Every structure is written in structure tokens, then in C-alpha cells.
Amino acid sequence: MLKLDKLVKTYNTGDQALKSVVLEIPQGQVLALIGPSGAGKSTLIRCINRLVEPTSGTVHLDGVELTRLGSGALRRDRRRMGMIFQEYALVERLTVMENVLSGRLGYVGFWRSFLRKFPQSDVDNAYRLLDRVGLLHMADKRADELSGGQRQRVGICRALIQDPALLLVDEPTASLDPKTSRQIMRLIVELCSERGLAAIINIHDVALAKMFVQRVVGLESGAIVFDGAPDDLTPDMLTHIYGEEDWEATIEKVTDAEEEAAQ
């Protein structure tokens, strides 16, 4: 469904963030993108919805070449890619409901959105999503009144209300505590399987990634160095991706007791 071909991004400073990345993701697959800070994970997912313009190479989504679209067509295709951010990236002075509804901006005209007169179906959907993530009672609170985990759930609602085919998730748990991190990851993965969404999840917590995804891709200095099942991540492989470190504790299976404690 999503196909990246020889994707290259060189920043103006001369830093080569991506070196000819080739990657294909089928419908409904949740993929974790791991790698050290600065490996190009954020750049990779931002090149897909072109918040960052790739230098060369192509990105296809369901047969549409995203890298060639003009600004109007790009906007239409961005609707099909929901994005979830590190540090949540909610607009803090807007209410929770406005933040969620902003996911519909690609579908409604300027005046409707300006006057906050969204179609009733959008409003209903927003309520349903907020209810699904347990935040319905917060709908009229301002976004900066929420806790970290709550904010990220609003971020998830904003991405899902776009009715996307693909989720781009950038370090969703980087600013959350371990328990909330697991809850958020579980929520994202559950929602993806409920709706048959594909997702790319940037994450540097390897253990957390292994708990929830079917496929792991390791990025190092802008190149893919690992692509396989979570169980194939050996200590040697992790050393290759991240550098020398004792990896035994990281790849240990999480026991049921621990899992329970996290709930």
C-alpha cells in the first residue's frame, strides 16, 4: 500500500538524513521504526506526508505518487495520512474538541472551519473517538489543562478523525511514563487493527516496540540495516543499530506479571 523507493533527503546543511531508503508496507501492517537519535526516523515519516520535502526518490500511497503532487493534491492526500507527534503537538490554546475537529480541516471549507460549524457527522465522530479513548468529559477543556497521556490520546483522536489509511506516528511515548507509554502503544495498535490501518511508529524504546508490533525496521545513519520480525532482533543486531551495549535485558520477553503491573 505504501511504497518508498530510493528515498533520499539531504538537508541544506549537507547532512544526509536518508540514504536511498527502500521500504514497502502492506495494508493493515503496523511497523516499528527503531534507531538511535539522529538516525533519520523523524525525517523518514515526514518525507512521506511531505512536511519535509525529500531530495530525491519516490513515495507511493495506493498507487498515487505523493512526491509528485502539487499543493492542492498533496492536501487531499494528506487527509489519508494521520500523524501522531512526540510531545503531542496539540494546539494548546484550543479546546480538546477543536483539536480533534482540526483533523477534519482537509474536508471542510474555510468558512465552516472558521465559524467552527463542522458537519454533524464530524462532531458525532469526534465524540465517539473521545469516548473510545476515555476523554469525552474533557471535550470542552483547553488542551493545556490535560496530562501527557491524555494529550496524546487527543492527538490520536485528531489523527483518526481524518479517516486515514495510514498512521505516521513519531515517538508517541517519548515524553510519557512507562505505564502510560504501554497504554498509548496498546491503544494505537488496537485502533489500527479495529480499522485495518497501516502504521509506521517511530520509537526508540526497543522493548516497547517488540511488545506490540509485527515487524521492526532498524534505521542507522539514514540507511535501513534491519527489517524483520521482532524476535529476530538479536543483541548483535541491536549493537549494529545502536552501538555497543548490553542488550540481554532489552530483548528478554516481558513476563505476564510485569504486563499485569503495567495495566
Partner 1 sequence: MNGASVSELDTLIGTGWKKPPLIKRDWLRWGLVIGALIYLIAAINSVEVNWERVYAGLDRGAAFIAAFLQPDFESRAGDIWEGMLESIVMAITSTVVGIAISIPIGLGAARNIAPLPVYLVCRAIIAVSRALQEIIVAILLVAIFGFGPLAGFLTLSFATIGFLSKLLAEEIESMDKVQAEAVKATGSRWAQWVNYGVQPQFMPRLIGLSMYRLDINFRESAILGLVGAGGIGATLNTAFDRYEYDTAAAILLIIIVIVMGLEYLSGLIRARVQ
Instruction: Decide if residue 243 touches partner 1 (CB under 8 A).
Output: no
- Cβ contacts of residue 263 below 8 Å, gap of 6+? none
Figure out which of the listed residues 43, 49, 173, 180 binds partner 1, where binding follows CB under 8 A: 49
Inter-axis angle of helices 178-195 and 148-160, to 10 degrees?
A: 10
Residues 105-134 that bind partner 1 (CB under 8 A): 105-107, 110, 113-114
Cell 532498524 locates to 218
- Helical spans, DSSP H, in the chain: 41-48, 71-78, 96-101, 110-114, 120-132, 148-160, 178-195, 206-212, 235-242, 248-251, 256-262
Cα–Cα distance measured from residue 128 to residue 111, given in angstroms and rounded to the nearest whole number: 25
Figure out which of the listed residues 41, 104, 151, 210 binds partner 1, where binding follows CB under 8 A: 104
- Cβ contacts of residue 120 below 8 Å, gap of 6+? none
Which is nearer to partner 1, 105 or 207 (by Cβ)?
Answer: 105
Closest separation between CB of residue 40 and partner 1, Å?
A: 17
Closest separation between CB of residue 46 and partner 1, Å?
A: 8
Cα–Cα distance measured from residue 34 to residue 232, given in angstroms and rounded to the nearest whole number: 14
One character per residue 167-186, x = contact with partner 1 (rule: CB under 8 A): -x------------------
Closest separation between CB of residue 94 and partner 1, Å?
A: 5
Closest separation between CB of residue 24 and partner 1, Å?
A: 22
One character per residue 133-162, x = contact with partner 1 (rule: CB under 8 A): ----------------------x--x---x
At residue 241, the 3 state secondary structure works out as helix
One character per residue 58-97, x = contact with partner 1 (rule: CB under 8 A): -----------------xxxxx-xxx-x-x-xxxxxx---
In whole angstroms, how far apart are CA 190 and each of 111, 151, 185, 214? 35, 18, 8, 13
At residue 80, the 3 state secondary structure works out as coil
Which is nearer to partner 1, 73 or 261 (by Cβ)?
Answer: 73
Which is nearer to partner 1, 161 or 219 (by Cβ)?
Answer: 161
Closest separation between CB of residue 110 and partner 1, Å?
A: 5
Q: In the structure, how many helices (H) and strands (E) does the chain have? A: 11, 10
Figure out which of the listed residues 9, 96, 98, 171 binds partner 1, where binding follows CB under 8 A: 98
In whole angstroms, how far apart are CA 113 and each of 68, 73, 106, 109, 124? 28, 20, 10, 6, 16
Which is nearer to partner 1, 76 or 137 (by Cβ)?
Answer: 76
Which is nearer to partner 1, 243 or 255 (by Cβ)?
Answer: 243
**Number of residues forming the site for partner 1 (CB under 8 A):** 32
- The one-letter amino acid at 97: M
Cα–Cα distance measured from residue 182 to residue 165, given in angstroms and rounded to the nearest whole number: 23
The residues of the shown chain that bind partner 1, judged by CB under 8 A, are 49, 51, 75-79, 81-83, 85, 87, 89-94, 98, 102-107, 110, 113-114, 155, 158, 162, 168
